[in-house]
């Protein structure tokens, strides 16, 4: 069992967390082209190695950013969305 | 020198102290140029090379593989072959595959140990039973033989299932596909490799693709750990690594890579003669010819390229097994492993030209690539030879994500992810 660190609750078992996609995948404006919507909805970076991802801690319902290695499963950092660079996410 | 496998060859080589056998395939150095280069020496890539040579007459084909043949998902699945899908597009693809599997051993002159022992999908509530009837009807309309079994029939066929009053998921019936079964998965890769090699295909192992050669906006080859290889057309069939390879080619795919794990028990006497899955527990199970109970389940919940499973998912899968088969409580596990599967939003594979012209994709099979090997190879060979879709592969083009014509088998056939 791997432990992930929720920025709000601390280290918890991996089963308490839910994967939410690539960090920085911004929802496009309503009048965007179909290609932009397709890219946002379905296409993924799916990085091999170090990746920045959105996760939800199901116990406290907070979403946050986790930087993680998708090969070794090492977790480099977790941070609350409010602490990430302005404009990277729209909650 | 003995090349053909037969009882006569066995007898001849037995009298000859087994000195005449030749390696099943060569290990050549790559040439500077081929008509087609296929990245990925798993079942899909090797089958593609075989059909390119056999059905399309290409004599200059190479398969490049980073590791060893069939070392990815081809050698890590639970070997089930079936075509119990809901949509006509899926049925056309997977039933083509099953039909090709039915004559593959003879065609390749290689024993793939196909055993059509049937597959049973357990139904656990009256509501589900109605959906099961819909599924069976859909399969029959699409030309695939299927039956709806009642509880008594399930009990007759699989008496060791949990029919007790305390069963968490009581048996109301089952969907039965008699033509489904299992095959020796390594043998499928090796059989295609041997047959492709005999048709002149160069199979180059331990040759990693590092970059794509792009000229005038077209992919014209690959740079590998064994040098540059130019090609008329390049195909990739790399399953879980599709995303990583796409990144090298400069585009993204509607694919997320997850671990799918499986395990086998110690060998026991024959106790269970079919393939069984319960959508409620998410666990599926069969017994190998050697006697091992082969167990699989749903995806790990953490996206990963790690090729190893995590414990919480293994626990889920095994609890499902014990819920269904209390008698397996005494079994001891022998091995557990994981493969990296390429999961698409609609749980259907992707074929066709990639966003980089000249580079073609066969991927996104998710948890179902092994059963799709002969059909995947057939349609992908057609695509690589002609540059346009096979009638079976056309609905699976990458453009479906833009047009919205998904083939949603997660909803249709109730695939576990």
pLDDT band, residue B106 (cuts 50/70/90): very high
Chain B closest CA to A56's CA: distance in Å? Answer: 12
Q: Which residues of A touch B244 (CB under 8 A)?
A: 46-48
Q: Are B308 and B369 in contact (CB under 8 A)?
A: no
State whether B241 and B357 are in the same domain: yes
Q: Say if residue B172's pLDDT is above 60.
A: yes
The tens digit of pLDDT for each residue in A4-41 reads: 999 999 999 999 999 999 999 999 999 999 999 999 99
Q: Spell out which residues of chain A touch residue B401, defining contact as CB-CB under 8 Å.
A: 38, 41-43
Task: Flag whether B216 is in a domain.
Answer: yes
Same domain, B364 and B240: yes
CA distance B305 to chain A (A): 5
Helix (H) or strand (E) holding B94: helix B88-102
Residue A89 above 80 pLDDT?
no
Measured between alpha carbons, how far is B87 from B95 in angstroms, rounded to an integer?
A: 12
Q: pLDDT tier at B415 (50, 70, 90 boundaries)? A: low
Strand partners of residue B380: none
Q: What is the pLDDT of residue A87?
A: 46
Query: Residue B210 in 3-state DSSP?
Result: strand
Q: Determine the pLDDT at residue A90.
A: 47
B63/B149 same-domain check: no
CA-nearest residue of chain A to B303? A70
Q: Given this model, what pLDDT does residue A1 score?
A: 86
Residue environment code for A25-62, b if the CB has 16+ CB neighbours within 10 A, otherwise e: beeeeeeeeeeeebbeebbbbbbbeebbbbbbbeeeee
- Asked if the C-beta of A19 comes within 8 angstroms of chain B's C-beta atoms, the answer is yes
CATH ID of A10-26+36-83, from 3.40.50.1820, 3.40.640.10, 3.30.2270.10, 2.40.30.40? 3.30.2270.10
Say what the pLDDT of residue A85 is: 55
Question: Is residue B252 over pLDDT 70?
Answer: yes
Residue B304 and residue B269 share a domain = yes
pLDDT at B4 over 60: yes
Mean of the pLDDT values across residues A67-79? 96
| Residue B24: inside a domain | no
Is B327 found in the same domain as B269?
yes
Instruction: Give CA separation, B336 vs A45, B209, B266, B299, in Å.
Output: 29, 29, 11, 14
Between CA B412 and CA B143, with CA B349 as vertex, the angle to 5 degrees is 50
Distance CA B62, CA B66 (A): 13
Co-location of B359 and B336 in the same domain: no
State the pLDDT confidence band at B253, using cuts at 50, 70 and 90. very high
For residues B288-317, average pLDDT: 94
Out of A19, A38, A42, whose CB is closest to B302? A19
Residues B104 and B196 in one domain: yes
Which of A15, A19, A48 has its CB closest to that of B244?
A48
Give how far B197 is from chain A: nearest CA, Å.
32
φ, ψ for residue B291, nearest 5 deg: 110, -10
Q: Under 8 Å CB-to-CB from B314, ≥6 apart: which residues?
A: B261, B263, B336
CA distance B218 to B255: 23
pLDDT for residue A91 is more than 70: no
Number of domains making up chain B: 3
**Distance between alpha carbon B170 and the CA centroid of its chain, in Å?**
30
Give yes or no for B253 touching A (CB within 8 A).
yes
Angstrom distances, CA of residue B83 to CA of B44, B231, B241, B388: 17, 34, 25, 25
Closest listed residue to residue B263, CA positions, set B246, B232, B285, B281: B285
Taking contacts as CB-CB distances below 8 angstroms, the residues of chain B near A19 are 301-303
Distance CA(B70)–CA(B42), nearest Å, equals 4
> Number of H helices and number of E strands within chain B?
12, 18
What's the confidence (pLDDT) of residue B216? 96
> Hey, is the C-beta of A42 within 8 angstroms of any chain B C-beta?
yes
Structure token pair of residue A67: 């930087």
Instruction: Specify whether B218 is located in the same domain as B149.
Output: no
Residue that finishes a domain, picked among B282, B312, B343: B343
B125 and B56 assigned to the same domain: no
Partner residue facing A44 (CB), from B256, B304, B310: B256
Asked if residue B157 has pLDDT above 80, the reply is: yes
Binary contact (B243, A46; C-beta < 8 A) = yes
Closest CA to B393 of B356, B366, B353, B357: B353
CATH of the domain at B298: 3.30.9.10
A56 and A47 in contact (C-beta within 8 Å)? Answer: no
* C-alpha pair distances (Å), B17 with each of A43, A87, B4, B14, B181: 57, 74, 17, 5, 36
- The alpha carbon of residue A56 and the mean position of all alpha carbons in its chain are separated, in whole angstroms, by 8
Q: Please check whether residue B12 lies inside any domain of the structure.
A: no
Query: Residue B297 carries which DSSP code?
Result: E
Q: How does DSSP assign B21-47, residue by residue?
A: B--SS--PPPPSEEEEEEE--SHHHHH
Residues of B in contact with A35 (CB under 8 A): 402
**B365/B230 same-domain check:** yes
Which chain B residues are closer than 8 Å to A49 by Cβ?
305
| Among candidate residues B163, B178, B193, the one where a domain is terminated | B178
What residue ranges do the domains of chain A occupy? 10-26+36-83
- Domain end (from B290, B316, B343): B343
Q: Are residues B265 and B366 in the same domain?
A: no
Check CB contact under 8 Å for A14 and B303: no
Q: Would you call A53 an interface residue with chain B, using a CB distance cutoff of 8 Å?
A: yes
Whether residue B330 contacts residue B296, with contact meaning beta carbons closer than 8 Å, is answered with: no
Tell me, yes or no, whether B260 lies in a domain: yes
Q: B100: which DSSP letter? A: H
DSSP-derived secondary structure letter, B358: T
**pLDDT, average across residues B377-386:** 98
State the residue range of the domain holding B151. 119-178
Is B11 within the bounds of a domain?
A: no
Q: Which of A22-36, A73-87, B285-299 has the lowest mean pLDDT?
A: A73-87
Contact: B255, A46; criterion CB under 8 Å: yes
pLDDT at B11 over 80: yes
> What integer best gives the mean pLDDT of chain B?
95
Neighbours of B181 (CB within 10 A): 24
Same domain, B34 and B143: no
pLDDT at B86 > cutoff 60: yes
Q: In this structure, what are the phi and psi dihedrals at residue B267, rounded to the nearest 5 degrees? A: -70, 135
Indicate the residue of A15, A43, A72 with minimum beta-carbon distance to B253. A43
Reply yes or no on whether the pLDDT at A86 is more than 80. no
The DSSP H or E segment spanning B246 is helix B242-249
pLDDT at B417: 46
Q: What span, in angstroms and rounded, lies between the C-alpha atoms of B399 and B185?
A: 31
pLDDT in tens, A46-66: 999 999 999 999 999 999 999
* B256, B304, B401: residue with CB nearest A38: B401
* pLDDT the model gives residue B2: 74
Query: Does B8 fall in a domain?
Result: no
* Confidence at B388, pLDDT banded by 50, 70, 90: very high
**Which CATH number do you get for residue B193?**
3.50.50.60
As a whole number of angstroms, the distance between CA B45 and CA B189 comes to: 9
* Prediction ipTM score: 0.92
Return the pLDDT at A66: 97
Give residue B9's pLDDT band: very low, low, confident or very high (50, 70, 90): very high
Give the pLDDT band (50/70/90) at residue B30: very high
Instruction: Tell me how far apart the 2 most distant CA atoms of chain A are, in Å.
Output: 44
CB contact at 8 A, B128 and B150:
no
Say which residues have a Cβ less than 8 Å from residue B183's Cβ, sequence separation at least 6: B79, B81, B101, B112, B113, B114, B115
């Amino acid at each position: 069992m791997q432990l992930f660190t929720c920025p709000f609750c601390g280290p918890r078992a991996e089963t308490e967390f839910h994967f939410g996609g690539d960090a920085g995948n911004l929802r496009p404006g309503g009048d965007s082209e179909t290609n932009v919507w397709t890219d946002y909805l379905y296409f993924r970076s799916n990085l091999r190695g170090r990746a920045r991802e959105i996760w939800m801690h199901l116990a406290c319902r907070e979403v946050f950013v986790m930087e993680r290695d998708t090969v070794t499963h090492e977790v480099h950092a977790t941070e609350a969305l409010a602490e990430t660079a302005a404009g990277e996410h729209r909650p | 020198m003995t090349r053909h496998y037969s009882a006569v060859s066995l007898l001849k080589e037995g009298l000859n102290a087994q000195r005449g056998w030749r390696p099943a395939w060569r290990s050549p150095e790559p040439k500077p140029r081929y008509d087609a280069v296929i990245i990925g020496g798993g079942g899909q890539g090797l089958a593609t090379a075989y059909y390119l040579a056999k059905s399309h007459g290409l004599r200059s084909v190479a398969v490049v593989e980073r590791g060893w043949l069939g070392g990815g998902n081809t050698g890590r699945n639970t070997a089930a072959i079936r075509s119990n899908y809901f949509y006509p597009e899926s049925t056309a693809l997977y039933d083509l595959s099953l039909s090709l599997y039915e004559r593959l051993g003879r065609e390749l002159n290689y024993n793939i140990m196909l055993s059509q022992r049937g597959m049973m999908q357990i139904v656990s509530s009256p509501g589900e039973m109605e959906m099961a009837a819909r599924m069976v009807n859909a399969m029959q309309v699409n030309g695939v033989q299927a039956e709806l079994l009642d509880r008594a029939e399930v009990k007759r066929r699989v008496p060791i299932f949990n029919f007790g009053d305390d069963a968490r998921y009581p048996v109301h019936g089952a969907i039965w596909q008699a033509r489904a079964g299992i095959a020796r998965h390594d043998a499928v890769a090796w059989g295609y490799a041997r047959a492709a090699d005999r048709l002149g295909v160069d199979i180059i192992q331990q040759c990693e693709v590092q970059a794509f050669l792009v000229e005038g906006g077209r992919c014209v080859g690959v740079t590998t750990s064994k040098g540059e290889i130019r090609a008329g057309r390049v195909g990739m069939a790399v399953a879980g690594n599709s995303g990583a390879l796409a990144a090298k080619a400069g585009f993204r795919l509607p694919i997320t890579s997850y671990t799918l794990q499986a395990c086998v028990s110690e060998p026991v006497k024959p106790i269970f003669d079919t393939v069984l899955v319960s959508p409620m527990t998410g666990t599926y199970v069969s017994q190998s010819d050697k006697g091992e109970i082969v167990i699989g389940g749903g995806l790990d919940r953490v996206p990963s390229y790690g090729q190893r499973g995590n414990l919480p998912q293994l626990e889920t899968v095994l609890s499902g097994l014990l819920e269904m088969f209390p008698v397996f409580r005494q079994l001891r596990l022998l091995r557990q492993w994981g493969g990296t599967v390429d999961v698409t939003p609609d749980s259907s594979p992707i074929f066709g030209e990639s966003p980089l012209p000249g580079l073609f994709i066969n991927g996104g099979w998710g948890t179902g690539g092994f059963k799709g090997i002969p059909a995947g190879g057939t349609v992908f060979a057609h695509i690589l030879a002609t540059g346009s879709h096979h009638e079976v592969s056309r609905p699976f083009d990458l453009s479906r994500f833009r047009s919205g014509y998904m083939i949603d088998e997660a909803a249709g056939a109730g695939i576990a992810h």
